[in-house]
Amino acid sequence: MQLPNSNRLPTNILAACFNNTVATYKYYWLLSIIQSVESGNMEIPKKDLFARMISNAWFTVNYFHVSFGKQDLIQMAIQDIIKEENITIDEKLNIVFEKLISSKNKKTENSLWHFNKNVPHWFLSPWFQKMDRAEIYKASQVFSNNCLYALFENEIQINPEWKNYLTTNARLLKDFCYWNLALFLQAKNPNVPDIPNKLIKPAVRNNLTKQRTHFWDIVIKELGSIKCIYTGEKLTIGNYAVEHFIPYSFVSHDLIWNLIPANKTFNSSKSDKLPQLNKYFDSFFNLQNNAVEIIKYKTPNSKLLEDYLSIFPDIDKSFSRQSFKDRIQPLITIASNNGFEFLK
């Protein structure tokens, strides 16, 4: 992805800021700067930027359990801050930000200001190659080489020459940050699905009305009722929740092959826990298998049957207990390795 060009500005140097990146700091630093400038700020307190960095990464780390790497300080800072602050793992970005900038907790303050040691000046290193920290601070304060911002002890000042470029191209610049961040994190998490959709908390989760009315209601109507695979409770139309067998926060999709009816109360308490396959897989497969046969008979042109093509190239020939387990087992293992806990 290319940055928008400018005849007056060294946009090639800005693009080079993500070269040789070994952690997520630079992506979140630039993203936070753009968000601040969008809000009309040209003189930006460093603490605000550090808080935005944490806020932007909050949902990705806490809810989706995407690994940033063992040495990544943003992930480490989030893990420390969540112990100190009363912030839920799925809190809205703006509320996380407000809580962080208003926090008086010394440990939280230290976690935020730790980024001051390297991030603000090393981000400018493409403008000031072979300079040390003190030299970069000094050169930036007169906007040498038309650098993006000037560095001071407690704030940065955006170079006025860059203001129009940043505001006019804010959407594209944020996309540039997320695109590069997605590539970086996908390399760190090669087996984790759908990294790009785990970088921003969705405004609203998709409802599962289609999967309920056009699939599971048809199955339950045909069978009269089914048993919840977790509780054994009898489930009838209108009296069940549509549940993700492998948590949505890992798979990041609503494909029907991962959805089953479940007890409403249990579904709420299950949250993002992983099912133990030795305990639940056989019941899960039997329910899915019966459902597929019923839908193929009742509504053979159902678009929802196409969901199975993502794991079975030919649903008529390859849909079997072992082939289904062979596709689910690796996902469960990867999710567990990324910090998802199992149901007790």
pLDDT tens, per residue, the chain with 344 residues: 789 888 999 999 999 999 888 899 999 999 999 999 998 999 999 999 999 999 999 999 998 999 998 888 999 999 999 999 989 888 889 999 999 999 999 999 999 999 999 999 999 999 999 999 999 999 999 999 999 999 999 999 999 999 999 999 999 999 999 999 999 999 999 988 899 999 988 766 788 999 999 999 999 999 999 999 999 999 999 999 999 999 988 888 899 999 999 999 999 898 889 999 999 999 999 999 999 999 999 999 999 999 998 888 777 777 889 999 998 998 899 888 878 899 98
Query: Look-up: residue for tokens 């109360």?
Result: 265
- In the chain, where the domains are located: 11-198, 209-337
Please give the pLDDT value at position 107.
95
Q: What is the pTM of this model?
A: 0.78
Q: Which two three-digit tokens encode residue 343?
A: 């149901």
The neighbouring-strand residues paired with 43 are 157
Please give the pLDDT value at position 249.
85
Question: How many Å apart are CA 147 and CA 162, to the nearest integer?
Answer: 9
Question: Which helix (H) or strand (E) covers residue 268, if one does?
Answer: helix 264-270
Please give the pLDDT value at position 129.
92
Please give the pLDDT value at position 89.
86
Question: How many Å apart are CA 227 and CA 236, to the nearest integer?
Answer: 9
Q: What is the DSSP letter of 219?
A: H
Question: How many Å apart are CA 258 and CA 181, to the nearest integer?
Answer: 28
